[in-house]
């Protein structure tokens, strides 16, 4: 008895293999989700950035099991490791505008600090929620502090 793999199934297995092994493939997948999010936002006129819509797509696929974390992990780690490169041009552009040093700059700084604190709080709550959900499903076990 021989197993017959359909061409479509073979393509799916090849894509899965490439995504699990190739950092460039994972980076391309992340960018693809971002671009799909941008398209959805432009078509539906949602008042959110396309990247946020793309992240919701990724979250839905991860929760549904259609996408595995290993398919994006290396690419996401690369983005996090190189995050500073994405901020340097913005910082250099700010240095060209002296008005940001006065009261306007303080207002912007306050917005940045409050926004960062809000993002940190929401991230902590989301991680805690996800961890508790994984505990309930038995995918993670509690370890006593040593």
Domain identity same for 91 and 145: yes
Nearest 5°: phi and psi at 145? Answer: -65, 135
Average pLDDT for 5-34: 80
- Does residue 111 register a pLDDT over 90? yes
Boundary (domain end) residue, out of 81, 101, 132? 81
- Does residue 100 register a pLDDT over 80? no
Domain identity same for 116 and 137: yes
Domain count, the chain: 2
Domain identity same for 16 and 62: yes
Which of 37, 60, 36, 31 has its CA nearest to residue 49? 37
The sign of the dihedral angle between the CA atoms of 70, 71, 72, 74 is positive
Average pLDDT for 35-57: 93
- Does residue 144 register a pLDDT over 60? no
Domain identity same for 76 and 13: yes
Domain of residue 124, residue span: 86-146
3-class secondary structure, 68: coil
- Does residue 123 register a pLDDT over 70? yes
- Does residue 146 register a pLDDT over 80? no
């Amino acid at each position: 008895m021989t197993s017959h793999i359909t061409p479509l199934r073979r393509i799916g297995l090849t894509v899965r293999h490439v995504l699990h092994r190739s950092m460039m493939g994972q980076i391309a997948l992340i960018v693809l989700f971002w671009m799909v999010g941008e398209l959805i936002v432009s078509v539906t006129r949602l008042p959110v950035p396309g990247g946020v819509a793309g992240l919701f797509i990724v979250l839905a696929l991860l929760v549904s099991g259609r996408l595995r974390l290993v398919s994006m992990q290396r690419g996401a780690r690369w983005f996090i490791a190189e995050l500073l490169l994405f901020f340097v041009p913005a910082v250099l552009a700010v240095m060209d505008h002296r008005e940001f040093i006065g009261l306007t700059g303080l207002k912007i700084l306050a917005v940045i600090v409050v926004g960062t604190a809000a993002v940190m709080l929401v991230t902590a709550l989301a991680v805690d929620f996800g961890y508790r959900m994984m505990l309930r499903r038995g995918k993670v076990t509690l370890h006593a502090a040593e």
